[in-house]
Structure 1
Amino acid sequence: MTQIKHHLTDQLLIGYAAGTLPEAFNLVVATHLSMCDSCRAAAQAYDAIGGAFLETDAQASMDEGALEETLALIGKGPSAAKPMAASDVPSPLRAYIGGGLGDVKWRSVGMGVRQAVLSTSKSATARLLYIPAGAAVPDHGHRGTELTLVLQGAFRDATARFAAGDVEVANEDLNHTPVAEIGEDCICLAATDAPLRFNSWIPRMAQPFLRI
């Protein structure tokens, strides 16, 4: 089993616990937590801290019968969902794909690289990236934050090597050219809260159509 070396920041874990992250970022964080014991433990600690703060807040009054009404609504809710079949993607990601990697509707973005944009809220964008072994994502910078979680394979850039379970947190200070390692295609889950800043004119021309 691959040892995870690159983890989520405390800022992201706190935002996830507080519910302040965009949906696309929440998806990356939840998927990483399903793969990483240490980040999952840290997230649980932040949840506990948040719960302690709630207990010290002034209590809000409730209308008479509020509990009975809530229980009645729960009783009318849908029955428990059937367990999902085994998949080659972590459970937080399955509902967004509609299954496993074999169900992904890939779209070419050039040079063998493919992507599939996932349906999330408009405040940030989530996508799956398929990078053939030895291929590179065009050189680019960032106008905001980009989270890239490796699901399969590995890639390298100027900063480090990222393998399955690793997450790279990139901001405006980073320009890089991720290259998939030889021997295995690389599949990543990425989220961005602003368009990338490509250094070559060809990807810049295609950017509005590819929603990158």
Structure 2
Amino acid sequence: MMEPLDHFLQAATMAPSHHPTEDLLLAYAAGGLDEAMSLVVATHLALCPRCRAEVTRLEAVGGALIDDLAPAALGAGTLEAVLARLDEPSHDPIPLPVARRRPAGPAPVLPEPLRSYVGGDIDRIGWSRTIPGLEEADIVCGDRRRSRVRMMRIRGGMGMPRHTHHGNELTLVLAGGFADETGHFLRGDLAVTDPSIDHRPVADDDGDCICLAVTDAPLRLTGRFLRLLNPFLRL
């Protein structure tokens, strides 16, 4: 059996196979995602050269389109309106990771920008057990009323309860891997699910699976007996 560290190092050298949709990348490049969704996409970009290049291309296209727009006359009150918007919350995308010289020592599990939100690497996370085999830690990010951001650590070989979603969920694998009805996900892979997906993720049996997940609505258990717990689930 492969040791967990060897598994991590092997996965770290592989390019991700599962990516954000084109609509997600376009919304990210245009600043149309909220902070929580932007964090997941930006962390994927830190691990995916292909998507970084695509976002750079989209931003260049958007800049060219703006440059081609004809100037328009400003109406009365424009300056006052712009000044009033300065205090509004920003929805700009989280900046793309900047390549830096890799420090000596083991590579971090958590890439930027996620590492800044956590305040360090994986050892800084305070895990709480949710169910046997699953630990979680909430990440403070954006409007908690709109989205929940959390780290998840699933014991190797552990299967999650079968469920679907009332809304959208983005799940980014940071270490280990899992498989469900939609595919097999390893480090850097992003699983995008919505109410059309009914699945039961199962962690690979060669080590814990560590993920970053964002949901904008509660999950809905679909197992024969577990569905009775739906009224007690939180976002």
- TM-score bracket for the superposition, by shorter chain length: 0.7 to 0.9
Hey, what does 2:203 align to over in structure 1? 180
> Size of the alignment, in residue pairs?
190
Residue 88 (structure 1) shift: 2.5
For 1:87, give the aligned amino acid.
P
Shift in alpha-carbon separation, 1:206–1:134, aligned structure 2, 3 A = farther
Q: 3-state SS of the aligned residue for 2:65?
A: helix
Give CA deviations for 1:74-125 in whole Å, capped at 9, x if unaligned.
xxxxxxxxx9976331011011111010000111110220111111122222
**Structure 1 residue 207 corresponds to structure 2 residue 228:** no
RMSD (CA atoms)? 2.2
For residues 126-145 of structure 1, the aligned pairs below 5 Å read 126-145=149-168
Could you say if the C-alpha distance between residues 52 and 202 of structure 1 is closer, same or farther in structure 2, counting changes exceeding 3 Å?
A: same
* In structure 2, C-alpha distance between the alignment counterparts of 1:131 and 1:106, rounded to whole Å: 11
Contact 1:128 1:188 in 2 (8 A): yes
Number of the residue aligned with 1:107: 128
2:17 is the alignment partner of 1:5: yes
Instruction: Give the one of 39, 50, 54 matched to 1:42.
Output: 54
1:34 counterpart letter in structure 2? A
Q: Which residue of 1 aligns with 2:137?
A: 116
Q: Percent identity?
A: 40
Q: Structure 1: give runs of 5+ residues left out of the alignment.
A: 64-82
Distance 2:179 2:138 in 1: 23
Shift in alpha-carbon separation, 1:203–1:44, aligned structure 2, 3 A: farther
- TM-score with structure 1 setting the length: 0.82
Runs of 4+ in 1 over 2 A off after TM superposition: 56-63, 83-88, 201-206
Aligned equivalents of 2:62 and 2:20: distance in 1? 18
Establish whether residue 192 from structure 1 lines up as the match of residue 204 from structure 2. Answer: no
In 1, Cα distance between equivalents of 2:125 and 2:115: 10
Distance 2:65 2:55 in 1: 16
Contact 2:109 2:174 in 1 (8 A): no
Q: Which residue of 2 aligns with 1:87?
A: 108
Ranges in structure 2 where 5+ consecutive residues have no aligned partner: 1-12, 80-100
The answer to whether residue 35 in structure 2 is matched with residue 23 in structure 1 is yes
For 2:63, the equivalent position in structure 1 comes to 51
Query: Which of residues 191, 194, 218 is equivalent to 1:171?
Result: 194
> Structure 1 residue 56: deviation in Å?
2.4
Match of 2:7 in 1: none
SS in 2 for 1:91: coil
Contact 1:89 1:151 in 2 (8 A): yes
Please tell me whether the aligned partners of residues 87 and 99 of structure 1 are also in contact (alpha carbons under 8 angstroms): no
Q: Residues 129 and 136 of structure 2 are in contact (CA less than 8 Å); yes or no, is this contact kept in structure 1?
A: yes
